[in-house]
Amino acid sequence: MVMRIRLTAASVLFLLCAACGAVTSRTAIQTAPEVATACAGDLLASIGYDLLADEPVLRAERSKHAAAGRMRADYDRVTVAVERGELRVRGETVSVSGGGPALAMRGRVASSPGGATPTRPSKELRADVKRLAIECAGGS
């Protein structure tokens, strides 16, 4: 009985961790790597992402919303790389919390800004990763 409970608890924990994981795609490219990367940058910019870096890996992020009362904001982040003839796209939705001085004094949040915590990937992010893989790999 105890073993069954442990197995069930481990299964639930595994499913929760998998739900918060990143969305990935690997597609063979039919064009030059520079063309695929430029396509990904243009497409991300056209759908509202801010490009953060483009050498050697393209990184972009889009703010989803801010929750003022909770001092946190959610972001969709996308990373695009061309390696070994493949367009590799990785997307994740993260929650970024900051530490306000009023909350820090009460001991609830650290006084320094908090880090990014992965959350469940948004539907929009899943669609963006799929669209990047389809449109920028250079296939028909």
User: What CATH number should be reported for the domain whose range is 22-136?
Assistant: 3.30.530
Q: Which residues pair with 92 in a beta bridge?
A: 77
Whole-angstrom CA distances from 23 to 36, 59, 61, 99, 109 are: 19, 15, 14, 28, 29
Given a contact cutoff of 8 angstroms between Cβ atoms, the answer to whether 46 and 131 are in contact is: no
- Please tell me the pTM assigned to this model: 0.71
d(CA 86, CA 4): 43
Q: pLDDT tens string for the chain (140 positions)?
A: 666 666 565 555 554 454 567 889 999 999 999 999 999 999 999 999 999 988 889 999 998 865 555 566 888 999 999 999 999 999 999 888 765 544 434 433 333 355 778 888 889 999 999 999 999 987 65
Which single residue is written with the structure tokens 């961790």? 17
In the numeric block, which tokens belong to residue 63? 């703010």
**Looking at 29-85, which runs of residues are DSSP E strands?**
50-53, 58-67, 72-83
Question: How far is the CA of 26 from the CAs of 65, 77, 94, 136, in angstroms?
Answer: 29, 17, 21, 11
Q: Within 10 A of 115 (CB to CB), how many other CB atoms are there?
A: 10
